[in-house]
């Protein structure tokens, strides 16, 4: 039988899968688990692989499910609507009358690749600083590009909670990015 070189999966794609999982799970340990589960699932399913995609594409497809599984487990432990801290933090960004408490400063417009990878590093650092569930839901939406409806369904949270969570995540991300040099002094 033509066996797949499973050893090569880890050697050739392990780091790639880990980085991808790390960006969405915001935890080294959870990302390692997701990679391990992916490779073990791949061993079980190798008969179905049949070489119709590149190994990386195939493994990445399995990884996506494992990432959602991990997040689902995580979400179960958190009571989203009772997150009073999050609510207060949002309130602090606005005045009582609903206006922004501080001016929303404009961002620069980086194009050079070096600048962009610097920015991406800041983006990932800021995402890591969100509360875990918030960071993971945000990443499913903005990094993985999953539809919100799909995210809610997969994680068993209501659309309203999803919007609230994403709204908070985006407000905090914007604030974190501004504090870390995204804003351009003096630009219009």
Partner 1 sequence: MKWIVTCKETSLLASRAMDERLPFADRLAMRMHLAICKNCARFNRQLQEMRRLFRVETGADEAIAPGLTPEARRRIETEMQKKLGS
User: Using CB under 8 A as the criterion, which residues of the chain lie in contact with partner 1 when the complex forms?
Assistant: 6-7, 10, 14-16, 18-19, 22-23, 28, 32, 35-36, 39-40, 43-44, 90, 94, 97-100, 103-107, 113, 116-117, 119-121, 123-124, 141-143, 145, 147-149, 162-163, 166-167, 170-171, 173-174, 177
Q: Are 6 and 46 in contact (CB under 8 A)?
A: yes
Q: Of 23 and 77, which has the nearer Cβ to partner 1?
A: 23
Q: Are 66 and 31 in contact (CB under 8 A)?
A: no
What phi and psi values does residue 19 have, to the nearest 5 degrees?
A: -60, -40
Q: How many residues would you count in the chain? A: 188
Instruction: Kindly state the tokens that stand for 48.
Output: 């179905």
Q: Of 72 and 174, which has the nearer Cβ to partner 1?
A: 174
Instruction: Kindly state the tokens that stand for 87.
Output: 């609510």
Q: Of 28 and 53, which has the nearer Cβ to partner 1?
A: 28
Q: Of 49 and 107, which has the nearer Cβ to partner 1?
A: 107
Q: Of 27 and 77, which has the nearer Cβ to partner 1?
A: 27
Tell the residue number behind the tokens 């790390």, with chain if given: 22
Sign of CA dihedral 131, 152, 141, 16: positive
Q: What angle do CA 64, 69, 75 make, to 5 degrees?
A: 125
User: In angstroms, rounded to a whole number, what is the distance separating the alpha carbons of residues 180 and 107?
Assistant: 11
Q: Least distance (Å) from partner 1 to the CB of residue 111?
A: 12
Q: Least distance (Å) from partner 1 to the CB of residue 185?
A: 14
Q: Least distance (Å) from partner 1 to the CB of residue 14?
A: 5
Q: Least distance (Å) from partner 1 to the CB of residue 74?
A: 19
Q: Are 85 and 166 in contact (CB under 8 A)?
A: no
Q: Least distance (Å) from partner 1 to the CB of residue 76?
A: 22
């Amino acid at each position: 039988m033509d066996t797949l070189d499973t050893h090569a999966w880890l050697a050739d794609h392990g780091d790639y899968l880990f980085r991808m999982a790390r960006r969405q799970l915001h935890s080294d340990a959870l990302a390692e688990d997701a990679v391990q589960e992916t490779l073990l699932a791949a061993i079980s399913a190798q008969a179905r692989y049949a070489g119709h995609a590149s190994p990386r594409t195939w493994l990445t497809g399995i990884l996506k499910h494992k990432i959602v599984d991990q997040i689902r487990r995580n979400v179960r432990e958190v009571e989203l609507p009772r997150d009073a801290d999050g609510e207060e933090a949002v309130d602090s960004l606005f005045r009582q009358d609903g206006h922004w408490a501080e001016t929303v400063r404009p961002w620069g417009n980086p194009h050079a690749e070096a600048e962009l990878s610097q920015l991406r590093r800041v983006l990932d650092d800021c995402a890591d600083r969100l509360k875990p569930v918030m960071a993971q839901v945000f990443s499913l939406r903005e990094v993985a590009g999953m539809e919100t409806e799909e995210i809610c369904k997969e994680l068993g949270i209501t659309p309203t909670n999803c919007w609230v969570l994403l709204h908070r995540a985006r407000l905090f991300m914007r604030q974190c990015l501004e504090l870390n040099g995204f804003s351009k002094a003096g630009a219009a």
